[in-house]
Amino acid sequence: MSENENNQYRLLSPWAYVGYGILFTLPVIGWILAIVFALNDDNLNRRNFARGYWCGVLVAVIVVVILSIVGMVMGVSIMDGFSSYQYNYRY
């Protein structure tokens, strides 16, 4: 195995995963680095971790969109229910 292949399969320490997780959560610069690491072949473990991060982000976005749609539908139905209970005051 050449030196490049050894670096490609080098394991990441648990603290490296923690550090990359914190790095990827930084706005803009962390997201850019996560994209770069997800497309880079220098270290397969780092690349797979970055790809897993983006899969998690995608799942979170889908869940938020679904919950937002459900919340809006429920909010509209609740507001329709309130409008049927209006009081008519006569003076």
What residues have CB less than 8 Å from 42, skipping those under 6 apart? 7, 8
Q: In total, how many domains does the chain have? A: 1
Q: Give the domain extent around 43.
A: 3-83
In a domain, 91, yes or no: no
Please state, in angstroms and rounded to a whole number, the distance separating the CA atoms of residues 12 and 18.
10
Asked if residue 89 belongs to a domain, the reply is no
pLDDT tens, the chain, 91 aa long: 677 778 889 999 999 999 999 999 999 999 999 999 999 989 999 999 999 999 999 999 999 999 999 999 998 887 777 666 666 666 6
Q: What's the CA gap between 35 and 53, in Å, rounded?
A: 10
For residues 13-41, b (16+ Cβ closer than 10 Å) or e, as one string? eeeeeeebeeebeeeeebeebbeebbeee
In a domain, 41, yes or no: yes
